[in-house]
Amino acid sequence: MYIAERIAQGVLNIQYETLPKEAIHWAKVGVLDYMGCTVAGSTEPAARIAIDVLIDQAGIGNSVLIGRTERLPALEAAVVNGTASHALDFDDISNTMGGHPSAPLLSALFALADEGEYSGRALLAAYVAGFEVETKIARGVHFHHYTKGWHPTSTLGIFGVAAACAHLMGLDLAKTTTAIAIAASSSSGIKANFGTMTKPLHVGLCARAGMFAAKLAAKGFTASPNVFEHKQGFLDVYNGAGTYNVDRIFELWAAPLDIVEPGIAIKQYPCCGSMHPALDAMLQLVRKHDLLPDQVSKIKVWLHTRRLEHTNRPWPNSELDAKFSVQYGVARAITDRKIIMAQFEGQAFSDAVVHKLLAKIEAFPYTVDQFPESNHFGAEVEVLTNNGQMLKARVEQAVGRTSSDPLPRDLLRAKFENCSSRVLKPSAIKQLYECIDTLELASDVRLITQLSTQLL
């Protein structure tokens, strides 16, 4: 049996009726967080530009643009919603995937669901299946795939999208296998484009390509079933011989489901997740010692070397660049005593007080003397004050990073409401929350996308 066929069989084995209650819970958490982030991101320049380009070419369709009043055909709607969902870099992440699992999956699934009548249970099962695909493939290719420079959210997410859409459409084993094989030829996304609009575009393109693969397969399109193991296939081309382990893809398949353990990591802050443990540590010091900007002489920050590669940006030069600057985030933690969306908008990155602090902040990769080799989610912060006092804090991993240390429900709801309130009517926000909270009872998920268009 080819790898793509084994993955497809695993997809078909995931059905709502056999999902553990924990999987249903976490899937609804993922949908809630996705919807809030996408609504908020719908007004961002990256999403607006994508709409401007597509609306004239694609024409009017049936699929809702979340947080907007326009509609597009499903494939184009997936591009816009995917771009919006990741525009703020506030959407959920996955320790296993090394990326953002829900944005590509749900951008495709909701756009596809707008074409017909699909139940909440059907969408939840498809979402869980797609989540399992992208994260379990990640187990087989990481961390070489990540460190090489691929953006797993899109390079691996596309397989999850193709699988999830095939699941929602009810494709059989052969066609689901083909959808996954087609998707391999559209896998793309490089980390060189982090800090620009192209990073969220990765999600939009991934959502479209994965859905397109499933639609093509449904109509009888063909692809090579040996697309993973072929000497010029995905594994050897994208990773390279000796840098992947196929057994790891299947050894823990659905046992447990990755959406359950380690689970979805929900972000507290609207910036790169690699920065979050350092922000948690810095905020601890600020609140414990009532630390003020003019009291700081020097700050040292330690992150895992893999995370520092894209967050060591001492002088960010745009609002998007600031989302990937651990120095900027740490400075903002001191000046504002919190991390919020407004700090990554407009010219906020050029704030004079922040710039004064940036000159005092250095970032370093941490060593095995600071954190065990197995921990790549920690951070340590050291502050030298003007009076010679040395303040230190360390965080093993950011709050909300795993299902065993979840973001408290009140904070999850507050994040959703804060994001949604930028665009939607209060009544729509309340209804949307309630609909997602009982999603498994919905006979038609188009109610959710309809609510996302009730603008202020």
Encode pLDDT of 307-326 as tens digits.
999 999 999 999 999 999 99
450: number of Cβ within 10 Å? 16
The yes-or-no verdict on residue 60 having pLDDT over 90 is no
Encode pLDDT of 223-252 as tens digits.
999 999 999 999 999 999 999 999 999 999
Percentage helix, strand, coil for the chain under 3-state DSSP, each rounded to 5:
55, 10, 35
**Separation CA 95–CA 98 (nearest Å):** 5
The yes-or-no verdict on residue 429 having pLDDT over 80 is yes
Query: With contact defined as beta carbons under 8 Å apart, do 351 and 324 qualify?
Result: no
Query: With contact defined as beta carbons under 8 Å apart, do 452 and 44 qualify?
Result: no
pLDDT band at 56 (very low <50, low <70, confident <90, very high): confident
Domains of the chain, each with CATH number or no CATH: 3-268+409-451 (1.10.4100.10), 273-395 (3.30.1330.120)
Mean pLDDT over 373-398 rounds to 95
pTM, full prediction: 0.95
- Burial of residue 197 (CB within 10 Å: 0-12, 13-18, 19+) is middle
Encode pLDDT of 62-101 as tens digits.
999 999 999 999 999 999 999 999 999 999 999 999 999 9
Average pLDDT, the chain: 97
Reading the block at residue 386, the tokens are 């003007």
The yes-or-no verdict on residue 125 having pLDDT over 90 is yes
Reading the block at residue 107, the tokens are 């951008």
What's the Cα-to-Cα distance from 368 to each of 95, 232, 306, 396, rounded to whole Å? 20, 37, 14, 13
What's the Cα-to-Cα distance from 439 to each of 29, 118, 247, 434, 453, rounded to whole Å? 11, 11, 35, 8, 18
**Separation CA 297–CA 385 (nearest Å):** 5
What is the pLDDT, as a whole number, of residue 57?
Answer: 77
